[in-house]
Amino acid sequence: MAKRIKPRGGRVPYGLSMWRDEHGVPHIIAPTLEAAHWGMGYCHALDRGIQLFLMRVLGQGRACELLSSNDELLELDRFFRRMNWGGHLAPELAKLDAECISLLHAYCDGINTRLAVKRPWEFWLLGYRPEPWRLEDTMLLARMTGYLTLAQSQAESERLLLELVQAGVANDKLEALFPGNLVGLDRALIERVTLGERIVPEALKWLSAAPRMMASNNWVVAASKSATGSALMANDPHLEINRLPAVWVEQVIELPDRYFLCANMPGLPAPLVGRSEHLAWGSTYTFMDAVDSWVEHCRDGRFRREADDWQAFTVRTEEILRKKQNPVTVTYYENDHGVLDGDPHQEGYYLTTRWTPSRSGGETLMAIKNLWQATTVDQGMAALGRVESSWSWVLADSLGDIGFQMSGLMPRRPEGATGFVPLPGWDPANDWQGMVSAEDLPRVVNPPEGFLVTANQDLNALGLASPINMPMGDYRARRITAQLAQRVQVSVEDCEELHCDTYSIQAAEFMEQLRSLLPDTDAGMLLREWDCDYGVDSRGAVIFEKLYRELYRELLQPTLGEEVFEYLLDGTGVFIDFYQNVDRLLLAKTSPWHGGRNQEALFEAALKRLPAKVDARWGERNRLVMSHLLFGDKFPRFLGFDRGPYAIPGGRATPHQGQIYESAGRLTSFAPSLRIIADLGEKELRSCLAGGPRDRRFSKWYCTGMSDWIAGRYKILRPLPAR
């Protein structure tokens, strides 16, 4: 039974009505799209007020001012001030047409209407009185969402390369680890660069063997291959799930002539993934290289161009206010290549780094406006191709068609440059020459196979341009592709089964080479019979993961040293995304990283450290607690702010990903944060959310979805009956 949402303090504007269905999901029934935006804003503030405003506080670099003045938050503020996602907004706002501005203002008004009559009690506790939400805040969040943990991982991999060079790691090892990406690498120049930001803290000493001289799935199935006779779309974005509230917000938008069953994020008035009556779309991150660095020669506060042309930086000075402490003043130096990592008054070589969408937003918001009107795959691709951050979009429509479109701002680089290696900033030939058009990015419509799969793998073959130079492992994509290909027709139930698939092709390929070497111990015999499945009851998964870590140790530790190896593996996420690069080295018969041994000797050395007996099951080792965004681990568990622990199935390379790891000093995870399935022949969306609709601890809808998420059960979202 649906229950009406009644705003406090007066009548609902625009003649719209808002209801909460039996799952707690808001339904916004609106006469116009503008009215729907007001309702989206009101419901975001109602259901996710903490999440909404904390994201803005972080993006503005004001955590020390408004939350806590501890040193960890000070470093976070420095990071966000450096990124400056709240700057350079005027040119982007000028790209918005009158309709888009009207929609965004309605959304802001919806948020502020709720905020004016009631704000979360947590804000009273913090002494925080949030300012009204503005259109600029939505653009700030649009920029943040495309970078954090996504484009950021590309930047970290490029920085790791520089640290490896400066640690003296030989070229043959670098080429093996980053194959094809070292065009233009000038070791002598990189060794002269002073790195301010580092992946490995300088307190940890690099050890080199040589003397000195660094997640998501989606697929679409055409009507011709669908068991229902209509096209299918499935999506399960792999994001952090060990937090409450959930990253995603589910909403149903009902207009007089169309409806949207969708998921979005607080602060972004957009049907990010989901479906309308005639079109469905889902997204994964595409690992486009949209982050470049340049080496700048600096002195006296200036940077050099060409022979002897010294130019002034744009200087940005900001004051970070801190609760009960003195403010901190930080100065940033910028040029067309981005923000400088260093002090240009000290003569030397430093890096500037820029992410292509860092000064964007206008085209993205216009693209989303057009998505509201799209009814076919072609129209959806035209709209989503204009989104400025990099995503792999799959689409299916009621005509039975399917398509794939990559989005993102890919820079046009000098011929031969990959974007992975920093080039001299003083040479104008190394500057970007505009951006690649969406039509040249990877895209395809109605492939002969009758289905399309993306899972963060290399998709360059589908485009005229090659935007990906460090894809994630292709194991998940290969598994999903194989499962879809072997079915004559694909059903909705097949898609549900694939969402929960915990079979690892990665483990199977390792076991082919390891099985004959396994010892006749309890652990060895159990691993020999293991089915390569990461279900919660699996003992083989625990043993394999222990062995996999020892294989990493044998491969990397002799070059990196024990401290650095342990830090990179346990304290960062650098091997979380790009593990297949290391797998290639492990599975190769010979490699510069093998230390003069053959592969069998390397494997046998790792096997010697495998315990003789392992009794634990995967669900006992792969567990997490859902922590409250603000009060996680601060209140006793019985108060219910934190939930769990939950046993998480899956591993790094299974379609149902289940990675739990530590990064930047805190526990995080990659797992299906949301599962959705659309059959274009039905007026419904199957959905499964890791969390619940609301961020209110004492609401009945706080964490209502977790039991279904664990069990792989789906709820049905559909328009409400006529009222």
pLDDT at 542 over 70: yes
pLDDT at 394 over 70: yes
Q: Kindly state whether residue 543 falls inside one of the protein's structural domains.
A: yes
Residue 309 forms beta bridges with which residues?
305
Higher pLDDT: 636 or 469? It is: 469
Q: Kindly state whether residue 352 falls inside one of the protein's structural domains.
A: no
For residue 131, the tally of other CB atoms under 10 A from its CB is 11
What does pLDDT average to over the chain?
A: 91
Please give the average per-residue pLDDT across 325-337, as a whole number.
95
Parent domain of 540: 505-620
Q: Kindly state whether residue 315 falls inside one of the protein's structural domains.
A: no
Structure tokens at 460: 């360059």
Cα separation values, 219 from 106, 119, 271, 403, Å: 34, 40, 18, 10
pLDDT at 125 over 90: no
Q: Kindly state whether residue 107 falls inside one of the protein's structural domains.
A: no
Q: Residue 445 — very low, low, confident or very high, per pLDDT cuts 50/70/90?
A: very high
High-pLDDT (> 90) share of the chain, %: 73
**pLDDT for the residue 699:** 92
**pLDDT for the residue 31:** 97
The per-residue pLDDT for range 162-213, each reduced to its tens digit, is: 999 999 999 999 999 999 889 889 999 999 999 887 765 544 444 433 222 3
Q: Kindly state whether residue 299 falls inside one of the protein's structural domains.
A: no
**pLDDT for the residue 242:** 86
Q: Which residue has the tokens 């797992």?
A: 671
The per-residue pLDDT for range 340-376, each reduced to its tens digit, is: 999 999 999 999 999 998 888 899 999 999 999 999 9
Structure tokens at 453: 């799969």
**Non-local CB neighbours of 310 within 8 Å, separated by 6+ positions:** 299, 300, 302, 303, 304
pLDDT at 75 over 50: yes
Higher pLDDT: 183 or 638? It is: 183
Q: Kindly state whether residue 180 falls inside one of the protein's structural domains.
A: no
Q: Kindly state whether residue 435 falls inside one of the protein's structural domains.
A: no
The per-residue pLDDT for range 699-717, each reduced to its tens digit, is: 999 999 999 999 999 999 9
Cis peptide before 245 (omega within 30 of 0): yes
**pLDDT for the residue 208:** 34
**pLDDT for the residue 554:** 95
**pLDDT for the residue 210:** 28
pLDDT at 144 over 90: no
pLDDT at 576 over 70: yes
The per-residue pLDDT for range 252-286, each reduced to its tens digit, is: 999 999 999 999 999 999 999 999 999 999 999 89
pLDDT at 214 over 60: no
**pLDDT for the residue 200:** 58
**pLDDT for the residue 153:** 74
- Which contacts (CB < 8 Å, 24+ apart) does range 83-87 have? 83/147, 83/339, 83/358, 84/316, 84/332, 84/339, 84/358, 85/59, 85/140, 85/143, 85/144, 85/147, 85/358, 86/59, 86/60, 86/136, 86/140, 87/316, 87/359
Structure tokens at 665: 């000093």
Rounded CA-CA distance 221/452 in Å is 7
3 state DSSP class of 20: strand
Q: What is the CATH number of the domain that holds 544?
A: 1.10.1400.10
Domain count, the chain: 1
Cα separation values, 576 from 177, 266, 448, 476, 637, Å: 15, 27, 33, 14, 30
Please give the average per-residue pLDDT across 683-690, as a whole number.
97
Please give the average per-residue pLDDT across 440-448, as a whole number.
98
Q: Residue 66 — very low, low, confident or very high, per pLDDT cuts 50/70/90?
A: confident
**pLDDT for the residue 566:** 87
| Residue (of 524, 475, 522) closest to 502 by Cα position | 475
- Distance linking the first and last C-alpha atoms of the chain: 13
pLDDT at 147 over 80: no
Please write down the HEC assignment for all residues of 346-413: CCEEEEEEEEHHHHCCHHHHHHHHHHCCCCCHHHHHHHHCCCCCCEEEEEEECCCCEEEEEECCCECC
**pLDDT for the residue 240:** 84
pLDDT at 227 over 90: yes
**pLDDT for the residue 540:** 97
Q: Kindly state whether residue 20 falls inside one of the protein's structural domains.
A: no
| DSSP conformation class of 313 | P
Between 142-146, 236-240, 420-424, 653-657, the lowest mean confidence (pLDDT) is in 142-146
443: enclosing H helix or E strand: strand 443-445
**pLDDT for the residue 663:** 63
